[in-house]
């Protein structure tokens, strides 16, 4: 009985962490689906967002959940500006250039944070940080449960935005056929930047949901970035459903392999999944094309 409880609690934890992973991956997969590029600065942007939550809380005494409403528009704006004024012009429309420019950005962000905050690990102290909800024999962390629910809500909102609004229609049009979209009067550069902004906004939300239970240091993004890439590759590049399912799978795999094989080998499991999927099924579970 006890063994089952441990298993179930690891499973529940994995699902809850996986939902936030999914949220991180959502931004990445959206940018990939539309711009057909891998945003290498995704992890560093998440780190920046987590530090923003940290500063908001420790300097301005803003609760992380309240910070969602400030940081999401802020990061949308930042993402928009970076794509429009840095990545777009600097890469001359070449894919490998975009990869290099986003690598450059990630190096700049990560090390600027290192220079500013030093390598200390920081966390924030909120009254509900350790509160739990009892479900049967399981004690589930309240902030993680909130993060789980909120991640699904964001995924739903993102899907509605893509499916139901004019901007969403324009984004889908650019993703499918950018020349055709441009010919029918869509400002492709603007749509690219909007998409990039949405990706960054997802990260701001993820950061606010993570910080009550997580810690941050300038290198934390690296831990997330390969996980996010794995999820995106596993779920299928560009697929929202894929990112959700992939996120949950990876969360559970990490949690269970951590339980059975220890922390460090659990990490290797994720990278091996990543390599195996890339080598043998690069379209992922829900991807339409290679």
Partner 1 sequence: MTSAPYAWIAAIVAALALLPLGTSSNTVLNFLSFAMIVTVAAQGWNILGGYGGQFSFGHAVFFGTGAYVMALAQVRFGLNPWLALPLAMAMGAAVGYAIGFLSFRARLRGSYFALVTLAFAEVFRISANAWGFTGGAAGVLVPLKLDAAQMQFADKRLFYWLALAFVAAALVLTAWIARSRFGAQLVAVRENEEAARALGVDALAIKLRAITLSGAVTAAAGCLYTQKFLYLDANLAYGPWISVEALLAPIIGGLGTVFGPLVGAVVLLGLGEVTKTVFANLMGGSVPGVDLVVFGALLIACVAYAPRGVLGLLQGWLASARKARA
DSSP string, 98-157: HHHHHHHHHHHHHHHHHHHH-S--B----TTTT-EEEETTEEEEHHHHHHHHHHHHHHHH
Question: Quick one: which of 224, 206, 199, 207 has its CA closest to 43?
Answer: 224
On whether the CB atoms of residues 189 and 126 are closer than 8 A, the answer is no
- From 108-116, 141-149, 192-200, 245-253, span contacting partner 1 (CB under 8 A): 108-116
Q: Report if residue 275 touches partner 1, rule: CB under 8 A.
A: yes
- Nearest to partner 1 of 73, 282 (CB atom): 282
- Nearest to partner 1 of 9, 222 (CB atom): 222
Q: Report if residue 288 touches partner 1, rule: CB under 8 A.
A: no
Q: What b/e string do you get for 69-93 counting C-beta neighbours within 10 Å, with b at 16 or more?
A: ebbbebbbebbbebbbeebbeebee
Residue among 62, 81, 99, 132 that touches partner 1 (CB under 8 A): 99
Q: Nearest approach, Cβ of 32 to partner 1 (angstroms)?
A: 9
- Going through the chain in order, the beta strands assigned E by DSSP cover 132-135, 138-141
Residues 36-65: x where in contact with partner 1 by CB under 8 A, - otherwise, as a string: -xx---------------------------
Residue among 28, 110, 203, 251 that touches partner 1 (CB under 8 A): 110
Q: Report if residue 93 touches partner 1, rule: CB under 8 A.
A: no
Residue showing tokens 């799978």: 249
Q: Report if residue 265 touches partner 1, rule: CB under 8 A.
A: yes
Number of residues interacting with partner 1: please give it, by CB under 8 A. Answer: 44
Q: Report if residue 97 touches partner 1, rule: CB under 8 A.
A: yes
- Nearest to partner 1 of 103, 182 (CB atom): 103
Residues 216-245: x where in contact with partner 1 by CB under 8 A, - otherwise, as a string: --x---x---x--x---x------------
Residue 231 CA, distance from chain mean position:
10
């Amino acid at each position: 009985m006890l063994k089952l409880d441990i298993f179930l609690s690891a499973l529940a934890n994995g699902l809850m962490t996986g939902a936030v992973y999914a949220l991180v991956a959502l931004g990445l997969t959206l940018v990939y689906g539309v711009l057909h590029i891998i945003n290498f600065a995704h992890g560093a942007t998440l780190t920046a967002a987590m530090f923003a939550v940290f500063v908001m809380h420790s300097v301005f005494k803003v609760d992380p959940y309240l910070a969602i409403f400030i940081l999401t528009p802020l990061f949308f704006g930042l993402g928009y500006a970076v794509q429009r004024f840095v990545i777009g012009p600097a890469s001359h429309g070449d894919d490998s250039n975009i990869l290099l420019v986003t690598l450059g950005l990630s190096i700049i962000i990560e090390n600027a944070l290192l220079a500013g905050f030093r390598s200390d690990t920081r966390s924030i102290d909120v009254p509900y940080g350790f509160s739990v909800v009892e479900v049967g024999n399981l004690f589930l962390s309240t902030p993680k449960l909130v993060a789980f629910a909120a991640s699904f809500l964001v995924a739903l909102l993102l899907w509605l935005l893509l499916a139901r609004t004019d901007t969403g229609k324009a984004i889908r049009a650019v993703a499918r056929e950018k020349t055709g979209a441009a010919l029918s009067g869509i400002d492709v550069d603007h749509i690219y930047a909007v998409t990039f902004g949405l990706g960054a906004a997802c990260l701001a939300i993820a950061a606010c949901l993570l910080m009550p239970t997580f810690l941050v240091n300038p290198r934390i993004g690296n831990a997330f970035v390969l996980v996010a890439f794995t999820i995106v590759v596993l779920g299928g590049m560009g697929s929202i459903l894929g990112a959700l399912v992939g996120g949950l799978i990876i969360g559970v795999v990490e949690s269970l392999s951590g339980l059975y094989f220890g922390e460090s080998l659990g990490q290797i499991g994720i990278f091996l999944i990543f390599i195996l999927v890339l080598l043998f099924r690069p379209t992922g579970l829900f991807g339409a094309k290679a």
